[in-house]
Structure 1
């Protein structure tokens, strides 16, 4: 434990301006209680607002394709390809968005990233009409992908504000508040379709909301001067085996959540013959529950260990997917929808538990290096913040794989059954990796280089 600071929010530098906090140590309990927690919670709240709008813009094509009837001339395969492109860009931009926080400051980048959302929204408003070429829709879909980057910068920023003991809850709430943008935009779409409106109405609603998110970030958020631009952290995180192991596991949770969010409505209309309005009545339920439960996944990980919660969660996801295979083969719409909702819930729970593991793993590595107190906490924050962008990006690529798997399954078999069989095998692999790397005993002790060495005392990751 470091010595208590004299003030929870130390004097700011005139050079940087009034919205910069020059010193920040969330592990300092005295400063945290004296006002640090209030500052952290305020930044968390308005980070959620901006990330929520970002998720909504990123996933808007999952509902826009429901408006695109026969007059648009697009096949189901075209629509799955379109949503795959949107997901792909959202995954790739997460890497630079992660490091933008250190370059511009968390508050400043939140303002910029929120403002950038105007580009894909206005572009979609301009082209959303029959007669527009498929290539044009693909190009505008590429622009919408930038909304997916807001998650990475937001998580990196909030990770720096909270102490390790509260990261699971804080990161889960931050991500869950963003994820809930998926069902919200689907609910808004449901209301618009029900009222006889078109896609431009939906886009027109979100344009002023983007301005609101940017303004709130400017007025209510802070930059942390202690989060320096550190390219060395990115290199160190990329070299660490746990970054890529956690990326693989995050594909199973967040990749599932975002991939199913894009694909669920299209599966209902293509495989089960639902109209866009009938599909919209059902598609929002799973993402809504999956988003709401993500903070619970983080809280459970704080209490019982992220590795243990993630392991059980993969068992549940595999079981639910097995039932989906049967429901798909039997063409049982009621069972299919019910179990799909369960799968969404489990993906949200796993999102919280797997992401909580990241700071815990790097904190444990700091201890293995012999670091203590603020030195250990600083090491953990440095590498976990850098790794989150990479892990988030790879995880989002799982959404691309899911949409491409559905596309191929419908082209080959006329249904999504083949895709679900592949997902079942992947969840089994996630279970095996979680058990083998983080829960299996006895095991080697983690070393500073990221490898393992034989030792009598084992550094357990069961509670990370």
Structure 2
């Protein structure tokens, strides 16, 4: 039996910390939509730029944690970085309870939110597992942080409609445009307490800290993920051509998932200049399906091979982005754009499922094409690079928002997925390939 040391389960205290970090980061995807609904005075392009700044910040922090090596994998480090999230939480409370809003302040706030996203890199427990089941195992681990995404996008819009903290909540904001939450539509004129997200994050950090303190005495010693303490390990994975091939494919998969996740709520809200749907009522469904698809994709990859599942997903992504682009173009030029909204939503749900399934399939392939001693570090490298999807996807939407051509961004994504499909077919599905259907 081939074995490799991976995180078989994320312990509960660490899982809570990862969920808190991702929830804070993804709360920005909700706040930018709410900034539009209360007519805070910012253009859609400016709101997309905030998302791009946050994604860039998360990517930079990922690189910092990656080069810190084992130190960033230790439980104490994870809990300390969670405690540091008090800073962006406090900034949120201050910014949204002391209007008027400054765009400069919002940009700094977006950058601070990126620290929460960087914690996705952490896997702390090490166990021996059969590599034939590694797709499923790693998919379940990744799904833990995905819970934070769904909590932010499903719960936060509803919680901001409630005066949870009295005077500490500050003055309310009044919606000018139609909005929504998981319960349904929020009509113009409703009250929102946008500072609630900061207070809720602080409460979650306190919960995570208490959980850690209670669990620490009985916790078993934890080994870091792999042994990656010297520069030779870094050089080895970067010299391997398959590292770079898998990196590109993981950008296609997880990069698309995280980029579309942070952008999807605002893209629904900007579906048409003459139609404002209840974006936050539906936005959380896509990431939820993507998270649920990860274990399913891992199971399929363990059963049929990672390359085959990756190819299927790349084809689905390409076709879906073409369909979404056509729908967007027609909606932008239609007197009744609302008739195109359901199709747009459904196509993106398919996109999220495909990105989730592909992410796990690629992890499965990595475990075959790379030496086992390089695997732990390589998985973290892939995650670090793919996080850039949270920067370049909103950036592309920002560029196209300034030119009123949002459909073009989707066509660019489709072309990228076609390239990835060709790459998978040539490198891993030829009979004479170095690794066939890993």
Question: 2:339 matched to 1:334?
Answer: no
Contact 1:90–1:149 (8 Å) recurs in 2: yes
Give me the whole-angstrom Cα distance separating, in 2, the residues matched to 1:52 and 1:46. Answer: 10
Counterpart residue number, 1:456: none
Question: 2:364 matched to 1:356?
Answer: yes
Counterpart residue number, 2:108: 139
Contact 1:83–1:403 (8 Å) recurs in 2: yes
Task: Give runs of ≥4 in structure 1 deviating > 6 Å.
Answer: 274-277
Counterpart residue number, 2:159: 192
Normalised TM-score (structure 1): 0.78
Deviation (angstroms), 1:206 = 2.0
Counterpart residue number, 1:287: 287
Deviation (angstroms), 1:398 = 2.1
Counterpart residue number, 2:43: 75
Counterpart residue number, 1:429: 419
Question: 2:62 matched to 1:94?
Answer: yes
Question: 2:102 matched to 1:112?
Answer: no
**What secondary structure sits across from 2:370 in the alignment?**
helix
Cα-to-partner distance string for 1:41-73 (whole Å, 9 max, x where unaligned) = 554544433222221112221111122146532
Contact 2:49–2:394 (8 Å) recurs in 1: yes
Cα-to-partner distance string for 1:347-379 (whole Å, 9 max, x where unaligned) = 11111111222222214xxxxxxxxxxxxxxxx
| Structure 1: gaps of 5 or more residues | 3-24, 28-36, 364-379, 446-459
Give me the whole-angstrom Cα distance separating, in 2, the residues matched to 1:55 and 1:248. Answer: 23
The 5 Å alignment of 1:259-270 reads: 259-270=259-270
Contact 1:294–1:351 (8 Å) recurs in 2: yes
Q: 1:345 to 1:158 in 2, by over 3 A?
A: farther
Counterpart residue number, 1:346: 354
Contact 1:253–1:351 (8 Å) recurs in 2: yes
Deviation (angstroms), 1:274 = 8.7
Question: 2:119 matched to 1:150?
Answer: yes
Normalised TM-score (structure 2): 0.83
CA RMSD of aligned residues (A): 2.6
The 5 Å alignment of 1:32-47 reads: 43-47=10-14
Give me the whole-angstrom Cα distance separating, in 2, the residues matched to 1:162 and 1:153. Answer: 18
Contact 2:9–2:141 (8 Å) recurs in 1: no
Deviation (angstroms), 1:194 = 4.7
One of 387, 390, 395 as aligned partner of 1:404: 395
How many pairs are equivalent? 395
Counterpart residue number, 1:168: 135
Q: 1:265 to 1:105 in 2, by over 3 A?
A: closer
Question: 2:216 matched to 1:216?
Answer: no
Give me the whole-angstrom Cα distance separating, in 1, the residues matched to 2:55 and 2:106. Answer: 14
Q: 1:274 to 1:43 in 2, by over 3 A?
A: farther
Question: 2:381 matched to 1:390?
Answer: yes
Contact 2:8–2:127 (8 Å) recurs in 1: no
Give me the whole-angstrom Cα distance separating, in 2, the residues matched to 1:113 and 1:275. Answer: 41
Comparing 263-272 and 335-344, the one that deviates more: 263-272
Counterpart residue number, 1:181: 148
The 5 Å alignment of 1:248-327 reads: 248-272=248-272, 278-327=278-327
Deviation (angstroms), 1:114 = 2.1
Q: 1:114 to 1:327 in 2, by over 3 A?
A: same
Give me the whole-angstrom Cα distance separating, in 1, the residues matched to 2:229 and 2:100. Answer: 46
| Structure 2: gaps of 5 or more residues | 163-190, 332-339
Contact 2:259–2:389 (8 Å) recurs in 1: yes
Deviation (angstroms), 1:215 = 4.1
Deviation (angstroms), 1:128 = 2.5
Q: 1:212 to 1:267 in 2, by over 3 A?
A: same
**What secondary structure sits across from 2:42 in the alignment?**
coil
Counterpart residue number, 1:206: 201
Comparing 104-113 and 204-213, the one that deviates more: 104-113
